[in-house]
Amino acid sequence: MSSDLETICLKCLEKQPGRRYATADEVAADLASYVAYRPIKARPVSRMEQAWRWCRRNAVLSSVTAVLFLGLAIGLLSMTLAWQRARANARAMRLQTYVSDVVMAQRAMQNSNSRAAEVLLLRQAEKFENEDLRGFEWHYLWDLSHHFEKRIEFEETVYYMATAENGSHIAVSGRTGWIDVRSMADPTQSTRRQAHQDCASGIAIDVQNDRVFSCGWDKTICLWTLAGKQAIKRITLDTAIDSIDLSRDNKLLAAALADGSVLILTDELEQVTRFPAHSRSTLRVNFSYDGKRLASSSSNGTIRIWSTQDWQLAGELDGYTTPVQTIAWSRDNARLLSAGNDSRIIVWDVANGQKLHEHDRKKGWSLSAEFALDSESVLVSNSNGTIDQLLLSNGAVLNEFAGHSMEVATLCVFDVAGESKILSCSRDGSVCVFTLSRSENVRLFNEHTSNVKTVAFSPDGKLLASSGYDAKILLRDASSGQLLHELTGHTDGILNVNFSSDGNFLSSAGLDGTVRVWSRADGWQCIRILPTAEHLSCVEITQHGEFAIGGAKSGTIRVWDVRSGQLVREWQAHHPDAFSIDLSPDSKQLASVGFDGHVRIWDLATAAELATFNASFNPLFGVRYSPSGKLLAVSCGDGRVQIWNAVDGVRLANLVGHSAAVNVAAFSPDESTLVTGSWDGTIKFWDLRTYYEKLSLPTGGRQSNAVDY
């Protein structure tokens, strides 16, 4: 029985007169309404029930209306889903375009096309739906593109180059014996002339006196005016000439001869003296800035210093067994820079013949090197067409200048209105001009006296901690670079440091067999020393500094209570080595990797193994949680980097690009970028939205021990 009919019947049977139907007409009216599917007066009906009854009374009309509304809803839903898909596809396309443009911009810079790089980067300067896609890689390349100023093309291979003291003119010589002098104000105007019958091996320029000197393997030295097509004077010797150099006062010309001797001429090519300098070919000669000494280098690796007063031997620098291709004086006349075929650069104290700095760049030979104007760094040419600016104190690469496609033969440094410029010539037939300014996106710290083993940012990004084999931890302001604290106590090298996630504690693991915990509240004093039975390769500290966790080469993981200093848990995690561990952001889980190729997730409170990921047959050197704890980056010994979903253990991507083992990785705070360091001498930046490589930076042939974002 329906509820309406039941209500009518019950109302008819009510004992109280006030609650019964008053008349038979009222009963008949409600029954008629019931039969017609209309609301009855005996029971109030909701709006929804009224609507349902209307639909039953008007079945056809209500069906048509329902179909129309359903179609409209489906249409709106389809349009919404299509709009969302289109928006997602547009963003994916935008991300791919961004990465592609950044990669092409880097290639353009490597091909010395800074204008093309700038155009590509400018395309990505606009926001996408109020989202700025630009990261470190964009700003780095933008800064780098503004180092490069211009490129001057020559028709044939350029062998050597000389510049006026202020860089106003360049003189270049070619493999087939030609020379050319051009004004940098209008370098398109050529004064090319055929000077020698064989390679024009050297050139020097004196703009003030309108003179150009050239030499060649045809055994001749010539004197020219800047624009003259005919030589003013030509002298012929009994041996080939490898190079020449003009004294700073433009009065003397020194020539390096293939028979091992050095020839000194006046500016009119009159002989002053000729003396035996080396037992094999003399390759380079270079006057000191004060003109009191002349340095010469040879194919047998010897470097000798001569007094220009009597041309007697004043010193000998012994350090090479292979040809020394370039020598250059410092502006204070106290040091000499040398580079040769064995990839080493050496800075000498000329007074006592001792090595002040020696760096093996592992980049092959170098044909040219010069002191930067600050005398704290040097510029060294590479066989791949690039120029490196190296810090003398530790050999770190401050800048890399790309502009040539073949080896750089000569480079010169000069000052223009207080700004340092580099001029370089290459075997590819080009001369490039660079601005030598320190990148605002690259900062170098060199207070450590030995290898730096690890770096770590505090969670708020305000502090940077570094440690190394000098047994020191340095804390600095990450923004200004100012050194704030030097933490000492370890008696041997420090392999690892890490901040707690609240930023109030710092843990360190040393080769002295201790883990130390440092407290911000105590002025970064050591508050606990935890002895270990073996050296730990990695250390972590929980969110509020309650526990310190260390991974050992034996494959064990140990957990200490920082307050009591007691070892509370220890378990075997890997066989044999536990290379790296990392805490989840909430400090509840611990990820570890080792020599066995497995990634293991542990419950820190119980040491229970929660999950195992079979990542590789090769050793795994690093593991890192993303800031949200949802992703894991795993550094592999085969050069790959794997991205895993830390929640369900699904491998999301294999990042392939390094040519040697990857030992470190770090996420950007927004998890859009992963930076990795490898034994192949590069640091790479990966876009985690597309899983494409977007930037690769050289580290001067050195492996990266640590990276952090």
pLDDT per residue as tens digits for the range 314-349: 999 999 999 999 999 999 999 999 998 888 899 999
Mean pLDDT in residue range 676-699: 88
Query: Strand order of the sheet with strand 419-426?
Result: 148-153, 430-435, 419-426, 408-416
pLDDT tens for 345-399 read 999 999 999 999 998 877 777 889 999 887 788 999 888 788 888 888 778 777 7
Q: How many whole angstroms separate alpha carbon 690 and alpha carbon 681?
A: 24
pLDDT at 18 over 80: no
Q: Look up the CATH number of domain 154-276.
A: 2.130.10.10
What's the helix, strand, coil split of the chain in %, to 5?
15, 45, 40
Asked whether the beta carbons of 518 and 506 are under 8 A apart, the reply is yes
Q: How many whole angstroms separate alpha carbon 622 and alpha carbon 454?
A: 13
Strand partners, 419: 416
pLDDT of residue 27: 73
pLDDT of residue 680: 86
pLDDT at 586 over 60: yes
Mean pLDDT in residue range 254-261: 96
pLDDT of residue 578: 65
pLDDT of residue 324: 94
Mean pLDDT in residue range 417-423: 79
pLDDT of residue 548: 92
Sign of torsion, CA 348 256 283 339? Answer: positive
pLDDT of residue 285: 96
- Of 134-138, 410-414, 523-527, 559-563, give the lowest mean pLDDT range: 134-138
pLDDT of residue 342: 84
Q: How many whole angstroms separate alpha carbon 416 and alpha carbon 257?
A: 34
Contacts of 589-594 with C-beta under 8 Å, sequence gap 24+, read 589/629, 590/540, 590/549, 590/557, 591/623, 591/625, 591/632, 591/646, 592/551, 592/557, 592/623, 593/620, 593/621, 593/622, 593/623, 593/634, 593/635, 594/555, 594/619, 594/620
pLDDT tens for 669-684 read 889 999 999 988 889 9
Backbone angles phi, psi at 346, to 5 degrees: -130, 135
pLDDT at 17 over 70: yes
H/E segment holding residue 206: strand 202-206
Extract the tokens encoding 485: 């604290």
Extract the tokens encoding 357: 């700095």
Asked whether the beta carbons of 429 and 157 are under 8 A apart, the reply is yes
Our measurement of the distance from residue 265's CA atom to the centroid of its chain's CA atoms, rounded to an integer in Å, reads 49
pTM for the full predicted model: 0.64
Comparing CA positions, the residue from 505, 511, 512 lying closest to residue 526 is: 505
Q: How confident is the model at residue 276 (pLDDT cuts 50, 70, 90)?
A: very high
- Of 270-274, 361-365, 584-588, give the lowest mean pLDDT range: 361-365
Mean pLDDT in residue range 409-434: 84
Is the bond preceding 323 in cis, omega lying within 30 degrees of 0? Answer: no
Q: Distances in Å between the alpha carbon of 410 and those of 46, 156, 368, 383?
A: 94, 16, 5, 11
Our measurement of the distance from residue 319's CA atom to the centroid of its chain's CA atoms, rounded to an integer in Å, reads 33
Considering the chain, what percentage of its residues have pLDDT values greater than 70? Answer: 92
Q: How confident is the model at residue 442 (pLDDT cuts 50, 70, 90)?
A: low
pLDDT at 103 over 80: yes
Q: What is the mean pLDDT of the chain?
A: 86
Backbone angles phi, psi at 133, to 5 degrees: -80, -10
CA dihedral angle for residue 457, residue 458, residue 462, residue 463, rounded to 10 degrees: -70
pLDDT at 706 over 70: yes
H/E segment holding residue 387: strand 386-391
Comparing CA positions, the residue from 580, 618, 586 lying closest to residue 600 is: 580
Amino acid at 328: A
Give me the DSSP letters along 640-654. EEEEEETTT--EEEE
Three-class SS of residue 391? strand
pLDDT of residue 335: 95
Query: Who has greater pLDDT, 639 or 63?
Result: 639
pLDDT at 50 over 70: no
Three-class SS of residue 397? strand
List the chain domain ranges.
3-57, 62-145, 154-276
Query: Strand order of the sheet with strand 620-625?
Result: 620-625, 631-636, 640-645, 651-656
CA dihedral angle for residue 101, residue 105, residue 107, residue 109, rounded to 10 degrees: 180
